[in-house]
Amino acid sequence: MTQTRALSRSLTGKIVSNKMQKTVVVEVVRIERHSLYGKVMRKKTRLKAHDGVNECQIGDQVNIVYTRPLSKTKHWRVSEILTKRATS
């Protein structure tokens, strides 16, 4: 009998805060249509994610995956940095 593991839940978002040690706040934007009126709305969710090496900067686009609870509010970890913020 072979066991198959379910695919990890992953989201893409933008770093809005990196002031904590080994933790970043990622803002995930999703687009939903209102059920009654049909208006297209942007909804934002702010999630805390684990960044073990403190390499994420504000403005970076990152991919995060769901993981076991690491603290009271941190259940995600940064899997990869998609685009770095342009520094000038």
Long-range contacts of 36-43 (CB under 8 A, 24+ apart): none
Beta strands 74-83 and 23-33: pairing type? unpaired
Q: Within 13 Å, how many C-alpha atoms sit on residue 43's CB side?
A: 8
Sketch out the chain's domains with CATH numbers.
Answer: 10-83 (2.40.50.140)
> Are the CB atoms for 47 and 71 separated by under 8 Å?
no
pLDDT band at 6 (very low <50, low <70, confident <90, very high): low
Q: What is the pLDDT of residue 88?
A: 61
Position 68 pLDDT exceeds 80:
yes
d(CA 37, CA 45): 22
Position 67 pLDDT exceeds 90:
yes
pLDDT band at 85 (very low <50, low <70, confident <90, very high): confident
Q: What is the pLDDT of residue 8?
A: 78
